[in-house]
């Protein structure tokens, strides 16, 4: 009995778990690091995301959200998945700069052939295990193919993610393969206000990332973006 009482007393003095922090958007950036992406391209992709995250227009979009903040993590995917930057709350230019700096440092840890289904499930798992509660939850998936050599089928993983209430957006890197945009629209993206923004080449990747982040943070799509521009 004394042991039981001691155990209960110990539990009573344990600090309560910190409540999840509210934010406007939980965003998983899933970036391709499969065998078709060499070391130079990995660095190029990371630089593109780093520049986009610190762009004044992106920061303005974040400031204009209901909470004035978003929570972001950057995960590279291939046959395995590797967290490059863990969940970070971005509310200020300093937060964004810290995220960008952290993104450029770690060595490559994901490798092998495509496992798109596994990558999508890893994105969902990252959301389920974080310390944030976002009004919206989005996986931003980028890649240069639609092949799936390992893990669960794309359709099965996609359905699991969508059933959990998470939107999947796509950033296909076309490199003279225009069919890839249609493939992403048919097989990858899904959920409320889902969309795909293509990067025509590596050279246009950073601008595509910037535009896509602004849309995602603002809760817009390319279609609503166009309508708003016409209205102005």
pLDDT band per the 50, 70, 90 thresholds, residue 195: very high
Pull the structure tokens for residue 62.
């974040």
Band of residue 18 on the pLDDT scale cut at 50, 70, 90? low
Domain with residues 21-231, CATH architecture:
3-Layer(aba) Sandwich (3.40)
pTM of the complete model:
0.87
Please calculate the CA angle 172-25-142 and round it to the nearest 5 degrees: 10
**Residues forming beta bridges with residue 196, ordered by sequence position:** 170
Q: Give the DSSP letter string of 162-195.
A: HHTT-EEEEEEB-SS-THHHHHHHHHT-BSTT--
Instruction: Measure the CA–CA gap between 113 and 91, rounded to whole angstroms.
Output: 36
Residue spans of the domains in the chain: they are 21-231
The pLDDT tens digits for 79-123 are: 889 899 999 999 999 999 999 999 999 888 887 788 999 999 999
């Amino acid at each position: 009995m004394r042991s039981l009482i001691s155990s209960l007393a110990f539990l009573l003095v344990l600090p309560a778990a910190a409540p999840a922090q509210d934010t406007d958007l939980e965003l998983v950036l899933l970036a391709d690091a499969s065998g078709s992406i060499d070391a130079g391209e990995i660095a190029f992709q990371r630089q593109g995301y780093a520049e986009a995250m610190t762009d004044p227009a992106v920061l303005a979009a974040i400031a204009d959200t209901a909470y004035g903040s978003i929570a972001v993590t950057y995960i590279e995917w291939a046959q395995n998945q590797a967290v490059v930057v863990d969940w970070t709350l971005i509310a200020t230019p300093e937060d964004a700069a810290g995220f960008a700096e952290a993104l450029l440092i770690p060595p490559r840890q994901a490798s092998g052939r495509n496992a798109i289904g596994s990558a999508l499930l890893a994105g969902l798992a990252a959301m389920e295990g974080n310390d944030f509660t976002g009004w919206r939850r989005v996986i931003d998936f980028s890649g240069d193919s639609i092949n799936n050599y390992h893990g669960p089928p794309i359709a099965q993983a996609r359905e699991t993610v969508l059933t959990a209430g998470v939107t999947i957006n796509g950033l296909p890197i076309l490199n003279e393969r225009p069919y890839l945009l249609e493939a992403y629209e048919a097989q990858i993206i899904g959920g409320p206000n889902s969309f795909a923004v293509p990067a025509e080449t590596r050279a246009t990747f950073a601008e595509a990332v910037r535009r896509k982040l602004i849309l995602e943070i603002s809760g817009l799509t390319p279609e609503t973006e166009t309508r708003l521009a016409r209205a102005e």
